[in-house]
A and B are shown apart, each in its own frame.
Chain A
Amino acid sequence: MQPIFRYSQLDTPIHRLHPLVKLAYVILTLVLVMYPIRTSDMPVLLVWLSLSAVLWALGRIELRRFATLLKILLGTFTFLILIQGFTYRFGHTPLIVFGHLRLWEADLGVLTKEGVWFGIVLSVRVLVATSSLPLFVMTTSASAIMTAMGKLRVPHVATFMFVSALSFTTLLFEMWGSIVEAQKLRAFDIDRMNFIKRAVKAYVPIITPLILLLFRKANDFQIAMETKGFGAPIEPTEIEMLTSRPADYLWLAFIVSVFVLCTILKYA
């Protein structure tokens, strides 16, 4: 079992792109989704989502990874659409009426068209927000991330913690898979349990060995790092040489332009 957003070693324009340009894309994405949201913001979000789709496609990231992202978010989307559908205070066009239960300005018994639409807009905002970081992680090697962070004066320890957490994720997924298998062999099949049963008792036989193993692996990990001088009060040598190419400036200009366009669309 591999983590779905693991770095894929390919030679694509997005992989070659300077990490700081990709980081700029991530930051602008986060700024965009921080804008106050309105039901009319769908075109703005779709423009930025199109940019993300272009980057995903050029980075040759498999569709199944995007499908996994959607699968993970599906519960959130359903929750947002239903909650907004029933509670959106400007909702006035009923789609389904279950009864009437007024709470301040909302009627909780009525699913409204405006509420559902607002829920969809919020869901797209979540999708926009969550699609940028996986793209960055899947197309940028950990050493390039470290060098880029170094350029931004982020402390080496903090960067390394982020990078090693990415590496540890792989191990975590593998351990999770192995523990689920080991318990299946004793007739304990978490995959076939319903949601309530899982929540009530199923995770103990999975989480307990996982935590115990994680402690042990973290210890081994610490040994491996510290016996290689990690933590020395010395300025670490930068191995990866990041050079900016004309294409990086063009991409940066393009991403900033799309961001400006989105801002204009929103506030015009």
Chain B
Amino acid sequence: MSSEAIIALENVTFTYEGDVVALRDLNLTVRRGDFVVVLGANGAGKSTLCYLISGIVPHIYGGRRGGVVSVAGLDPWDEPLYVTAQHSGVLMQDPEVQLFMPTLKAELAFGPANLGVPRDEILRRSRAALALVRLEELEERNPRDLSGGQKQRAALASVLTMQPQLLILDEPTSQLDPLGRQEIGEAIEQLKRAGDLAIVMTTHETEEILPLADQVLVLERGETVLQGSPEEVFSQADRLGEVGVKTPALIRIQHDLLWPGKGKANHPTRTKVNLTTSEVAGQIQASVASGRLSIIRPEVPLSPPPVPPEAPLILEVHNLTIEYPGPPLVKALKDVSLQIRQGEFVGIIGQNGSGKSTLVKCFVGLVQPRTGDILFRGQSIHKLSVGEMARRVGLVLQNPDYQLFTASCRDEIRFGLRNVGASLEESERLSEEALRLVGLEAEADLFPFRLSFGDRRKLAVAATIALSPEVLILDEPTTAQDHRGRYQLAELSKQFHGDRQGTVLMITHDVDLIARYAHRLIVLHEGRVLLDGPTGEVFSQVEELKKSFVVPPVAMQLARELAHLGVPAQVLTLEDFYQVCVPKQVTRKAG
């Protein structure tokens, strides 16, 4: 491996137009073959760093820069973008905007063709890139017809045909389902193993990518808070938590249980990032055997009690079949029947395209079934107007930007209230309440698009909750959200569920999050209900879950490995695990 520096940043500061400082005093050296993972909450400066080293800043987004930037020996500030593009390739979050040609073949040829690379060489590069992302069979397909994971792999291949020395991946998996994440992860792993490229990747998904990293950079408000090897950085689990970065569950368990007390400090020499569940289970078993850990019976039941069967039914679907006209014709739901009771907190998981969004859109009347009935409190929803529906079932869509249009956050909430005929006083009261609930009362008069993405999502939730629906549905609230933002939205749903005795349905790919909040889980697969039951029971059906590429939460996997020590099967979350597996010192104190 050569030691040639592909990226050299020295004391780099960057300020966007409007005096928003995005990066401060940043130093980074990346060599050929290096894989650098950049972590941080939304707004930490990760994307700005990507823009800076790819030349997008200043050629597309303007601003002021201080310090020295060198990428492949060039300063992107001084070179036209097409020159920088010959050295560094960028893969962004949203594959939809990166694919614009009619066939995959044309998409892959687009970049090198712009640079006048000979046709035969372009075709050779295209074949190699397609083989790497395993899309050889699809080169004549329209990229828009591919699945989410395939689209992102296609976008990656289209970057690789430029033969960059530096590959910049800006949250490439944040909009993908577990299979898509796995597919992209495998492609990146291959690139890393080949060692020809320097790779910089920003992400919130620490578990999957850390074992590949050579260096980790953690940013907060544009400043470096931690930098070093993955072991060094993740030995500071508490510091990471403070800046909104998730520590992988297995490392967290090691720090909290196996190295208690000292766990809050550094363990760089002992911290390992490619841990397996069996490895940690073995360490816990040894600690129990040596008396440093105890397994105790929890005093309170771990799982929340299920909603009693006598609770009234609030939503029902019977023999629901939904088809989207083609070509090709898509059967989104196939003869689905299920019931939701008042007061339930239901998680809905499954691959992209499994019918999750279609199902929840049926609940609010956005999608009309070809066959089947949809009932709200026993009444067909077709008899309800959109206004009546909005006051019964509220759906928060994935992207809040599809609904925001007013001049202030307050007006945004009042818009829905006005549509359902709320009086001025009622509208004022409910909008203030909703803003308070989501913690945006200080931003009430702000233009919604000036909020961060996470806050815009909260505003969308507030606009829905203000209509006082009995059921709140969140469609993938965790997509493109950092660790902290995910839990803020989940907590809001929990408040709606607890304080307002509402019913909540949440679609997500985050199994740890759903295990913590939902007491019932529905798994959809290819338009049918694959599993439906209490969350713990559903997660215990490991083989069935594999069909949907769903892996149970880490705490549950660990509990199963330690079942012979008396760890109960209903352990779903880290908090559950900490209730049953405790350091000896703590048990003595408790005693």
Chain A residues within CB distance 8 Å of chain B: 7-9, 62, 141-143, 164, 167-168, 170-171, 175, 178-179, 181-189, 192, 204-205, 208-209, 212-213, 216-217, 219-232, 234-240
Q: Are B114 and A234 in contact (CB under 8 A)?
A: yes
Residues on the B chain within 8 Å of A164, using CB: 100
1/0 per residue B83-121: CB within 8 Å of A?
011101110101011101111011001111111111100
Q: Which residue of B lies closest to A224 (CB)?
A: B98
Other 10 A-B pairs with CB < 8 A, given A187-B390, A221-B100 = A9-B142, A143-B101, A182-B397, A212-B401, A216-B401, A221-B97, A225-B100, A227-B55, A228-B158, A229-B114
Q: Are A141 and B102 in contact (CB under 8 A)?
A: yes
Q: Are B467 and A186 in contact (CB under 8 A)?
A: yes
State which of B414-422, B430-438, B517-525 sits at the interface with chain A.
Answer: B414-422
Residues on the A chain within 8 Å of B96, using CB: 171
Give the docked Cα–Cα distance between A240 and B55 (Å).
Answer: 30
Q: Are A232 and B401 in contact (CB under 8 A)?
A: no
Residues on the B chain within 8 Å of A237, using CB: 109, 112-113, 116-119, 122
Given A8-B327, A141-B103, A232-B115: A224 in contact with B97 (beta carbons within 8 A): yes
Q: Are B402 and A213 in contact (CB under 8 A)?
A: yes
Residues on the B chain within 8 Å of A192, using CB: 386
Give 16 CB contacts A-B under 8 Å.
A143-B103, A171-B96, A178-B399, A185-B364, A186-B390, A186-B464, A187-B416, A187-B467, A212-B404, A224-B100, A225-B100, A231-B82, A232-B114, A236-B113, A237-B119, A239-B106
Does chain A have a CB within 8 A of B578?
no
Does chain A have a CB within 8 A of B449?
yes
Residues on the B chain within 8 Å of A225, using CB: 100
Residue of B82, B117, B464, B467 ringed by the most chain A CB atoms within 10 A:
B82
Q: Are A219 and B60 in contact (CB under 8 A)?
A: yes
Given A220-B94, A232-B114: A238 in contact with B464 (beta carbons within 8 A): no
Does chain A have a CB within 8 A of B350?
no
Given A179-B403, A209-B405: A227 in contact with B100 (beta carbons within 8 A): no
Q: Which residue of B lies closest to A179 (CB)?
A: B402
Does chain A have a CB within 8 A of B528?
no
Closest 6 CB pairs of A and B: A186-B416, A228-B111, A229-B114, A232-B82, A187-B419, A208-B405
Report B360-395 residues with CB < 8 Å from chain A CB. Answer: 361, 364, 366, 385-387, 389-391, 394-395
Q: Return the contact of B81 from the options A8, A181, A231 (Cβ within 8 A).
A: A231
Q: Are B111 and A204 in contact (CB under 8 A)?
A: no
Q: Are A220 and B420 in contact (CB under 8 A)?
A: no
Give the docked Cα–Cα distance between A237 and B81 (Å).
Answer: 19
Give the docked Cα–Cα distance between A221 and B162 (Å).
Answer: 17
Does chain A have a CB within 8 A of B560?
no
Give the docked Cα–Cα distance between A195 and B271 (Å).
Answer: 66
Q: Return the contact of A236 from the options B86, B114, B140, B391 (Cβ within 8 A).
A: B114
Give the docked Cα–Cα distance between A8 and B114 (Å).
Answer: 26
1/0 per residue B150-162: CB within 8 Å of A?
0000000011001
Q: Are B101 and A142 in contact (CB under 8 A)?
A: yes
Does chain A have a CB within 8 A of B144?
yes
Residues on the B chain within 8 Å of A208, using CB: 405
Give the docked Cα–Cα distance between A237 and B97 (Å).
Answer: 23
Q: Are B387 and A184 in contact (CB under 8 A)?
A: no
From residue A157, how far is it (CB to closest CB) to chain B in Å? Answer: 11
Given A212-B449, A223-B60: A185 in contact with B390 (beta carbons within 8 A): yes
Q: Are B405 and A189 in contact (CB under 8 A)?
A: no
Q: Return the contact of A186 from the options B106, B385, B419 (Cβ within 8 A).
A: B419
Q: Are B415 and A186 in contact (CB under 8 A)?
A: yes
Residues on the B chain within 8 Å of A142, using CB: 101-102, 106
Does chain A have a CB within 8 A of B463?
yes
Q: Which residue of A lies closest to B82 (CB)?
A: A232
Residues on the A chain within 8 Å of B102, using CB: 7, 9, 141-143, 167
Q: Which residue of A lies closest to B388 (CB)?
A: A187
Report B454-502 residues with CB < 8 Å from chain A CB. Answer: 463-464, 467
Give the docked Cα–Cα distance between A164 and B404 (Å).
Answer: 27
From residue B365, how far is it (CB to closest CB) to chain A in Å? Answer: 8
Q: Which residue of B lies closest to A10 (CB)?
A: B327
Give the docked Cα–Cα distance between A217 and B93 (Å).
Answer: 12
Q: Are A205 and B405 in contact (CB under 8 A)?
A: yes
Residue of A186, A224, A230 ringed by the most chain B CB atoms within 10 A:
A186
Q: Are B327 and A236 in contact (CB under 8 A)?
A: no
Q: Return the contact of B56 from the options A204, A223, A235 (Cβ within 8 A).
A: A223
Given A182-B403, A184-B386, A231-B81: A222 in contact with B395 (beta carbons within 8 A): no
Does chain A have a CB within 8 A of B294?
no
Residues on the B chain within 8 Å of A216, using CB: 401
Q: Are B119 and A239 in contact (CB under 8 A)?
A: yes
Residues on the A chain within 8 Å of B404, using CB: 209, 212
Given A141-B106, A170-B144, A182-B397: A227 in contact with B97 (beta carbons within 8 A): no
Q: Which residue of A lies closest to B118 (CB)?
A: A237
Give the docked Cα–Cα distance between A170 and B90 (Å).
Answer: 23
Give the docked Cα–Cα distance between A9 and B139 (Å).
Answer: 13
Q: Are B390 and A167 in contact (CB under 8 A)?
A: no
Given A8-B327, A179-B403, A213-B401: A228 in contact with B85 (beta carbons within 8 A): yes
Q: Return the contact of B403 from the options A183, A187, A221 (Cβ within 8 A).
A: A183
Does chain A have a CB within 8 A of B331?
no
From residue A38, how far is it (CB to closest CB) to chain B in Å? Answer: 41
Q: Are B82 and A226 in contact (CB under 8 A)?
A: yes
Give the docked Cα–Cα distance between A235 and B416 (Å).
Answer: 53
Q: Are B327 and A175 in contact (CB under 8 A)?
A: no
Q: Which residue of A lies closest to B114 (CB)?
A: A229
Give the docked Cα–Cα distance between A204 and B404 (Å).
Answer: 11
Q: Return the contact of A188 from the options B80, B98, B366, B419 (Cβ within 8 A).
A: B419
Q: Which residue of A lies closest to B397 (CB)?
A: A182
Does chain A have a CB within 8 A of B173?
no
Does chain A have a CB within 8 A of B54?
yes
Report B280-324 residues with CB < 8 Å from chain A CB. Answer: none
Q: Are A185 and B464 in contact (CB under 8 A)?
A: yes
Residues on the A chain within 8 Å of B118, using CB: 237
Residues on the A chain within 8 Å of B389, using CB: 187
Does chain A have a CB within 8 A of B181?
no
Residues on the B chain within 8 Å of A232, using CB: 80, 82, 114-116
From residue A45, how far is it (CB to closest CB) to chain B in Å? Answer: 31
Give the docked Cα–Cα distance between A181 and B399 (Å).
Answer: 12
Give the docked Cα–Cα distance between A69 and B331 (Å).
Answer: 26
Q: Which residue of B lies closest to A205 (CB)?
A: B405
Q: Are A228 and B106 in contact (CB under 8 A)?
A: no
Give the docked Cα–Cα distance between A76 and B159 (Å).
Answer: 46
Q: Which residue of B lies closest to A241 (CB)?
A: B119
Give the docked Cα–Cα distance between A230 and B105 (Å).
Answer: 17
From residue A71, how far is it (CB to closest CB) to chain B in Å? Answer: 15
Q: Are A217 and B419 in contact (CB under 8 A)?
A: no
Q: Are B103 and A229 in contact (CB under 8 A)?
A: no
Give the docked Cα–Cα distance between A237 and B100 (Å).
Answer: 18
Q: Are B56 and A227 in contact (CB under 8 A)?
A: yes
